[in-house]
Amino acid sequence: MVEKEIENKMKTEEYFVNMGPQHPAAHGVLRLLLTIDGEIIKNVDPDLGYIHRSIEKMCERDSYQQIVHLTDRMDYLSSHINNEAVCLAVEKGLDIEVSDRVKVIRTIVSELTRLASHQLWWGVIGMDLGALTTYFYAFRDREYINDIFEETCGARLTMNYNIPGGLMFDIHPNFVNRVKEFLVHFKTKLPEYDRLLTGNVIFQKRTKGVGVLTKEDAISYGATGPVGRGSGFACDVRKTHPYSAYDRVEFKEALFTEGDSLARYKVRIMEMWESMSIIDQLIDNIPEGDIKTPTKAVIKLPKGEFYQRVEAARGELGVYINSTGTKNPYRVKFRSSGFSNLSVLNHITKGAKIADLVATMASFDFVIPDIDR
Amino acid sequence: MSYFSDIYNGIKTLLTGMSVTGGYFIRARKGSITQQYPDNRETLKMFDRFRGEVVMPHNENNEHYCTGCQACEIACPNGSIEIVWDRQVDPETGKKKKMIDKHIYHLGMCTMCSLCVEACPTDAIVWAQNYENSVYDRKYLTKVLNQPGSKVKAGIED
């Protein structure tokens, strides 16, 4: 009798909790509908659409030059890489080849973008796990890259530096020196990142073995970028389908097989080293050449479908353009990495604690405008 | 045994991290990138290419370089530029000529993509480097770029 009473009192029920749309650990307006039993997560149901701006539909009314600036607003932390993807797709349709100079500059600026994105992520993962100091250190180093962008492209976040056929204008005379200065600076600071956070016992306990994604699941869910590579899935587009100047540089693909949050962390730290090595190889010998291949003022792609994939900071970005031969595309589709990576979240956080969900999300590095578009 | 080694490792890694932060505590000003923003307005200079807002430069005779070709209006992806024009009689030649009446620029809708400045064949509009664009009412964000009484510089169309 007494035992039954105790059992009745201890009986727990599942209940729902809204995490977001405004949540400090969600980095944007992502609403997660959590089904939880005590602190154990039973189900994670992401609810999207809070920052949907119908960018793909807007592309259908815009000319091909105008599409480029909209992609800045998708994954705003790798805006230059998004621009490059659209430009490469349009150039593929026009069947024009850009000069070596454009290819090399695009590669350098893309890698700088990747560095800036990973720096911000490093600051934020520390902040999500309770270490506020990382945020300030990361933003200090990111400021150098932002200054480089501001001087050469004219903006700090939404650069719109690429145009179909080349670049909007040549690099600033100070560009090379500033990039070299930054590399010298950051090569001394990146080991500090390791000392501060990677080896830290609290950080290790929060991330090791948390949110384990197997290689099979990563492939079947279409997880790309650091999420896929942390699970041992070699999916770096820069290696598999080289574009721009990636075929002429030596770099290692960051691969770890553990599949947990710490592995994804290590992939990004290693990618920062590799990005710096790529810039090191290119910065000293930027070839001379035209900065833009002349195109017609009104670009009309031939009838057909054009697809270009690039490696953005968060994974593979695909740009699909369906043209009917007019000055506007008939349909534009962006395959964003964030959307596919988000679909994994429910699978790997089932049975974990809420705090582990925060750690897993931080290691996924979501940019919500990229998921919603 | 692992209990004690865990404690030892924990303290060791914490001290490693704190040696980094402690180092910055001692030499706080070194490598600082912080700008004392509202206090350094006089000395703060933006980069030459910085996209603050679109302006139309005028020379000392109150003449601009805009021929009213509307290339910027077509290039703008979000309708930030509106050009009101009509055909006026040119006082020198006596012929009717397309001239701008108002070059209206909506700063509130502008995404600073720089397509209009790139499209301009006569460099009539350029980027200004001012960075304090906030106003109390959004009607102040709609600007007429050509000054009152200004006219196009002669010979710019040739």
Q: What is the mean pLDDT of residues A185-203?
A: 86
> Nearest residue on chain A to B50, judged by CA atoms?
A154
CB contact under 8 A, A66 and B115: yes
Q: What is the mean pLDDT of residues A175-186?
A: 89
Alpha carbon distance B58, B54 (integer Å) = 13
Give the total number of structural domains in chain A: 1
What architecture is domain B53-152? Answer: 2-Layer Sandwich (3.30)
Q: How does residue A130 score in pLDDT terms, banded at 50, 70 and 90? A: confident
Assess whether pLDDT exceeds 80 at residue A240: yes
Assess whether pLDDT exceeds 70 at residue B31: no
Question: Residue A111, exposed/middle/buried by CB under 10 A (0-12, 13-18, 19+)?
Answer: buried
Q: Is A321 in contact with A199 (CB distance < 8 Å)? A: no
Nearest to A154 among B13, B14, B114 (CB): B114
Q: Is B46 in contact with B131 (CB distance < 8 Å)? A: yes
CB contact under 8 A, B118 and A200: no
Q: How does residue B136 score in pLDDT terms, banded at 50, 70 and 90? A: very high
Nearest to A196 among B20, B33, B112 (CB): B20
Domain that holds residue A186: 3-372
Alpha carbon distance A44, A366 (integer Å) = 15
- Per CB-CB distance under 8 Å, the chain B contacts of A172 are 47, 49
Retrieve residue A357's tokens.
């969900």
CB contact under 8 A, B49 and A62: no
* Residue A370 CB contacts under 8 Å (≥ 6 apart), including other chains: A74, A75, A314, A336, A337, A338, A339
Question: Helix (H, G, I), strand (E, B), or coil: what is residue B152?
Answer: strand
Q: Is B57 in contact with B48 (CB distance < 8 Å)? A: no
Average model confidence (pLDDT) for chain A?
87
CB contact under 8 A, B49 and A158: no
Residue B125 neighbours by CB distance under 10 Å: 22
CATH code, domain carrying A188: 1.10.645.10
CB-defined contacts A:B, below 8 A: 71
Alpha helix segments (H runs only) across chain A: 2-10, 55-61, 64-71, 79-94, 100-128, 133-152, 175-193, 201-207, 215-221, 225-229, 237-240, 261-283, 337-349, 354-364, 368-372
| Among A31-40, A220-229, B29-38, the least confident range | B29-38
Average model confidence (pLDDT) for chain B?
83
ipTM value for the complex: 0.83
Retrieve residue A278's tokens.
């790529």
CB contact under 8 A, A201 and B47: no
Q: Is A72 in contact with A373 (CB distance < 8 Å)? A: no
Give the per-residue pLDDT at B38. Answer: 86
CB contact under 8 A, A199 and B16: yes
What global pTM score does this model have? 0.88
Give the per-residue pLDDT at A292. Answer: 84
Tell me the HSE value of B136 on the side-chain side, using a 13 A CA sphere: 0
Question: How far off is chain A from B109, nearest CA to CA, in Å?
Answer: 14
Give the per-residue pLDDT at A355. Answer: 86
Q: What is the mean pLDDT of residues B109-123?
A: 87
